[in-house]
Structure formats: C-alpha cells, structure tokens
Amino acid sequence: MSVNPAMADLATDAARATSQQHSMSLLQGLRTYPHAVMWSVVLSAAIVMDGFDKVLINNLYAYPPFQREFGVQQPDGSYELTATWQSALSNGALVGEIIGLMINGLAIDKFGYRRTMAASLVAVALLIFIPFFANNIETLLAGQILMGITWGVFQTITTAYAADVCPVSLRAYLTTYVNMCWVIGQFIASGVLKGVGSRDDKWGYKIPFALQWVWPVPIIIGVVLAPESPWWLVRKDRINDAKRSQLRLISKSHGQNSGADDVIAMIQHTDALEKAVSAGTAYWDCLKKTDLRRTIIVCCTWTVQILCGSTFMGYSTYFYTKAGLDTSHAFSMSLGQYALGIIGTMFSWVLMGHFGRRTLYLAGEGIMCILLLVIGLAAIAEASDSAKWAIGTMLLLYTFVYDATVGPVCYALVSELPSTRLRAKSIVLARNCYNIAGIITNIITPRMLNTSAWDWGAKSGFFWAGLCGLCFVWSYFYLPEPKGRTFGELDVLFEHKISARKFKMTPVDPFMSDLARRQSLATPTSNESRIVQTEEFGKV
C-alpha cells in the first residue's frame, strides 16, 4: 500500500488539532474562542423567541379573556376551551414544526446555516399577523401551523451551529445553553401574561401576540453578520472560506497561534473518515450502517425528553389552576418554575463537567420518576390546601431537576452523537420524533387535566412516573457517553460497535504514530480493553 503524502500531512495536522482540543480547558476555550461563543449565543436568541411564542398558547388556556373569545360556555357560566381544541392548537404547531424540520434538513445542506435561518426569521415576522388578527379559533389554528414551520427551523439549526463552531471544551455548554434560551423565552412570556393578567379585554392576549414582533429583526442582523459553519464549508469543498470562517471564531490575540489550519485539517479528516463509511448526506443515509444506530439513539434521547413527564411544565399555569390555585397564584408559580429552570440549566454546566452526559441523564430520570410518584400520591388528598401547594412545590422541584439534567443535557447529546455529515438531518429526525411524541402527549394531557374529559388532575403523575421509569431503563442500556470526545473519536467508537456502557472507558487512538500504519485497518484484540484506531484513510 502506498501513502498519499498530502493525506499523511493532513492526518498529522488533524492529530495535532485533536490533541489541542483534549488539552484545552474551559477557560482556555473561552479565551481562544470568544467569538464562537458570541455568535452561538446570538443565533440561540431565536430559541428565546421560540420559547416565548410557543408558551403563549398553552398558558392562555387559563386566561379568562382568551377563554371567552375562543372557548365555550360551561354549565356554571364560565368559559373554557374544549380538550379537543386545546389539543388541536398545541398539535397544530407541532405539525408545522415537523414540516419545517424536514425542509430545514434539506435547506441547511444546500444553503448553509445563515441563509436558511435568515429566511425563516423573515417568514415568522410576516406570519405573526395571523394570530394577532385572528377572530376565531380556526384562524388561530392556521397561524399556529404556519408559524410552526419556522419554529421547526430554529429548534435544530441553533444546536447544530453551536456544535459546529465550538471546541470540545465549550461544546456541551453552548449546546445546552439552547435549553436555557427555551426557559428564558418561557419566563418572559409568563411575566408578560402575568403583567396583562389584570386586563379583561381582548388586548390581554393580543399584546403578548404583538410582542412576538420584537424578536426577528435584531436576530436577523446577528445572523447576517455571523460566520458560516466551517464544517459546512468543508463539505462544500470551500476550504479557504472554511479557514476564514474559523479565524472569525477565534480571538484576534490568538489568531496567529490559533491552529486554525490544524482545525480545518481535523474537519477534513473527520469528513473523509465519515465518507469512507457513508458517502451520502441524504435523510436515507441516516438509516444506513453505523449511522442507523446513531440515529436511533438521538431520536430516542430527544423523545425521552418529553416522555419523562415534562409535558406537565408546558401546561403549568393550566395545571396549577386545575390543582386548585387561583389564576394569580398560578401565573406566579409558573414564573417561579421558569426561574428555577434557568438556575437549573446553569447548574447543569457544573454537573456535566464532573459527571458527564450519561450519568446526569440517568440521575435526572430517576429523581423525576420519584417526584412524579409523589405528585400522584399528593393528588389523592388534593382537596386540602396543603396538598394543592405540595403538588405545586413538587412540580417546581421537578422543573429544577429536569432543567439541571435531562432538559439541557439532551441538546448536548443530540448534537454530539450523530456523524458530522449527517448532524443536521439526524437532529431533524430526532426532533420530529420528539414532536410526534408531543402530538400524542398533547392529545392525552388536556384530557387528563380537563374536568370535562378524564379529570385525572395531578393523579396523572402516576402515568408519567411509569413512562419516566421506562425511559431510565432504555438510557441505562443504550445511551453512550460522549464527554471529552472529538467527533472523529466518536466515529471510531461507533464504527467498532462499542457498547454504550463502555464508551467512557474505551481508549481511542484515531491517529497511529507511524504514518504508514495509519493507513491500515485496525484490528482490536479484545472487546473489553481495546485501543480503537481509525479505518483506512488516504490510500492510493
């Protein structure tokens, strides 16, 4: 076998970049990549907008002016949206998101991150007119579906972009920051709803709809100025553009010694390794060879996020009112819930540094299962005021645990575990699995809580505790640990079919010291303690 000198040099540079990524501390990463952090935060602001927009509908279900405008009169003279229309409105957005997500995966591959996101922001600014001027529930539903198409774009593109532009030391923090953006958006929306809570006219819900116009323009400006993903540019064979983009992510004081050439070499090397396994970048390629396992894992990981009982949080205000709290206390509890979510996400950054993704995911699922059981048990005596407040307190504690574990860690996992060539499409498929599960939960949850349907109330905690327990079992057997791994190392681990429970302790040597031997196929000698090496690379 002969060695291509260019490929050998590329592998040497890539090995040097990999070593630098492993040795880079969090503080060094922040000093070297401050612009990557800034641009990732700028694009993630779209998720703040998304969280603000989406939480409005679910929390307006408990708002009297909204109930009178779009609900039906109950025997006691009050108004309420039927469980059917609650499900339709919540699911309308999810249906739109499924469509938008599939379009997003194709658009990113063709047009890149920046142009795809800018177009979606323009579209959402125009579509806000529909819910704002809606005078019947059918028009409101149409607006939810159409706006959902743009929301689908924001939900995945921000996570994929953060994973692309950040080094290993920052990757988990900026991908999980997306979860904080969701919570910030929900917190702002709940504050706005509490602020207009004293109004008894249509403007009580029209003002929150109008405030959605605040977000798109400044975010569009940030997106236009941001650098394109170096990974996307390399896949398009625009190597010089990729290097320029990489330099824009690095501090000017580190520009001369940043190793930008080595990073681009690492990206090229990883891309070549993945081409050797699967040359395609279509949705169908997510279901081939080793990518099938990776796709299944990210799809299940994101589905766990909704099946572990987090649906309770989306209906928090409505749930609190059904638990017996008045509307004012319900909105106050929701504000406290989202504030705890923000604190929990920041706490997750500390926990991930010590325990990694897998351990945190499992611990979160276990604790949330117990809390859901407590909520169900408290519901048996929910006629008393103390039981009602106990349910609310447990839901607040559940929110903190969720946003310190499963909520943010999910974003790190789904961005790290797919191959780089299929990352955007794998995240799209995973989010759509989440949305499909969301459609199901949005059908059954209103019926669980609605007095005109099943009327389970807080006793539905038993149901979600059971599902959360099943999620724990799946995670234990199938969820791997990607902490501290470069994307090239993860490729090798998946290619050699390493068990999920052994990802953490399996040594990986993607670059053999001898350049000639680097071209050969590694043959591990033991399943228990093997040093995994790369497949053939650069053969002529």
* Polymer length in residues for the chain: 540
Sort residue 484 into left (φ over 0), alpha (ψ -120 to 50) or beta. left
Whether the per-residue pLDDT at 130 is higher than 80: the answer is yes
Burial 341-357 (b: 16+ CB within 10 A, else e): bbbbbbbbbebbeebbb
Question: What is the pLDDT at residue 530?
Answer: 40
5-235+264-492 is classed CATH 1.20.1250.20 = yes
- List, in sequence order, every residue forming a beta bridge with 79; answer none if it has no partner: 73
Which tokens belong to 191?
């504050």
From 38-52, 64-78, 177-191, the region with the lowest mean pLDDT:
64-78
Instruction: For residue 436, report the phi and psi dihedrals to the nearest 5 degrees.
Output: -65, -45
Question: What is the pLDDT at residue 76?
Answer: 76
Question: What is the pLDDT at residue 7?
Answer: 60
Q: What angle do CA 191, 406, 495 make, to 5 degrees?
A: 140
Mean pLDDT within 24-49: 90
H and E: helices and strands count for the chain: 22, 4
- List, in sequence order, every residue forming a beta bridge with 445; answer none if it has no partner: none
Question: What is the pLDDT at residue 321?
Answer: 67
- Label residue 533 by pLDDT band (50, 70, 90): very low
pTM for the model? 0.80
Q: How far is CA 174 from the centre of its chain?
A: 11
Average pLDDT across the chain, whole number: 82
Helix (H, G, I), strand (E, B) or coil at 348: helix
Whether the per-residue pLDDT at 292 is higher than 80: the answer is yes
Question: What is the pLDDT at residue 383?
Answer: 60
Whether the per-residue pLDDT at 8 is higher than 70: the answer is no
Q: Any idea what DSSP says for residue 228?
A: P
Alpha-carbon torsion 150, 156, 162, 165, what sign?
negative
**Residue pLDDT, tens place only, 299-327:** 999 999 999 988 777 666 665 665 566 66
Whether the per-residue pLDDT at 345 is higher than 50: the answer is yes
Whether the per-residue pLDDT at 24 is higher than 90: the answer is no
**Residue pLDDT, tens place only, 199-246:** 888 888 888 889 889 889 999 999 999 999 999 999 899 999 999 999
**Residue pLDDT, tens place only, 492-517:** 889 888 899 988 888 876 554 333 33
Mean pLDDT within 354-361: 91
